[in-house]
C-alpha cells in the first residue's frame, strides 16, 4: 500500500511534536490531550490533530494520546528510529560545532566522516573522527555508505561539492551555504541561511518599531 502523502508543512512540525513528547516523557506524563500537546508545540489543537492524522494517529476521545506510542509513531515517521550515515563537508567553526552536535544527539543520525580542504585541518580529530581530504570525497562517501551530507563550506565551491556528493550516492543534503544549490530529482535539499533568517527578524523588528510610532 502506498503511504499517504504528508504535506511539507506537516513534516516541518513533526520535529516540534517530537520535542514536546520528549518533554512530557521526562516529566513522567503517560497520556496527553491534543490541547496540552498543542500548547507545548505552539500550534492549535485542530492543527495538531490534522497533522497527526497523517500518521494514522487519532487519539482516543475523552482519553487523549498515549505519549509513548505517539512518540514512536512520530519518531518512526521522521526516520529517527533508523541509523542514517552522515558526512560533514567543511570543518570550520560551524562544521566543528555541527559534528559535535550530531554526534551527541544519537537520534537517527550517525556522523561517519568529516571532510575538509584545509591542510591544517586535515588529519585533526573532531568528535572522535579524523578529518579527511575533500579530494577523496567520493571514496569517503561510498566507503561509509553515507546517504546524508551537511555542507558548511564557501559558496564558491558549494555547487561543485554538491554535484560530487550526489554522484557518489548522497540523496539528502543540508546546506548552510548562503547560495541556491541545484540538485536532481530524487535528492532532498534543505537550506539554512542564517543571514536570511536574521534579515527576516530585522524586517519584523522594523515593522514593530513603526507601529509603536
Please give the backbone phi and psi of residue 57, each rounded to the nearest 5 degrees, phi first: -105, 125
Q: How many CB atoms lie within 10 A of CB 5?
A: 8
Tens digits of residue pLDDT in 108-136:
788 999 999 999 999 999 999 999 999 99
Q: What cell numbers appear for 158 in the block?
A: 558549494
Q: How far apart are CA 179 and CA 108, in angstroms?
A: 27
Tens digits of residue pLDDT in 168-199:
999 999 999 999 999 999 999 999 888 888 88
Output the pTM of the full model: 0.73
Amino acid at each position: 500500500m502506498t503511504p499517504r502523502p504528508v504535506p511539507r508543512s506537516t513534516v516541518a512540525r513533526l520535529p516540534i511534536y517530537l520535542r514536546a513528547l520528549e518533554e512530557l516523557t521526562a516529566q513522567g506524563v503517560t497520556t496527553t490531550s491534543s490541547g496540552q500537546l498543542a500548547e507545548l508545540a505552539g500550534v492549535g489543537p485542530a492543527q495538531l490533530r490534522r497533522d497527526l492524522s497523517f500518521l494514522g494517529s487519532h487519539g482516543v476521545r475523552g482519553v487523549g494520546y498515549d505519549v509513548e506510542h505517539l512518540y514512536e509513531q512520530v519518531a518512526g515517521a521522521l526516520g529517527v528510529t533508523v541509523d542514517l550515515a552522515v558526512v560533514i563537508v567543511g570543518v570550520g567553526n560551524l562544521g566543528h560545532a555541527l559534528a559535535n552536535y550530531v554526534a551527541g544527539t544519537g537520534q537517527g543520525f550517525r556522523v561517519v566522516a568529516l571532510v575538509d580542504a584545509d591542510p591544517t585541518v586535515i588529519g585533526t580529530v573532531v568528535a572522535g573522527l579524523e578529518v579527511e581530504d575533500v579530494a577523496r570525497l567520493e571514496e569517503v562517501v561510498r566507503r561509509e555508505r553515507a546517504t546524508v551530507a551537511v555542507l558548511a563550506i564557501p559558496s564558491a565551491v558549494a555547487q561543485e561539492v554538491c554535484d560530487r556528493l550526489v554522484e557518489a550516492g548522497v540523496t539528502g543534503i543540508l546546506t548552510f551555504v548562503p547560495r541556491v544549490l541545484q540538485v536532481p530529482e530524487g535528492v532532498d535539499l534543505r537550506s539554512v541561511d542564517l543571514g536570511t533568517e536574521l534579515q527576516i527578524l530585522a524586517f519584523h523588528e522594523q515593522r514593530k518599531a513603526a507601529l509603536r510610532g
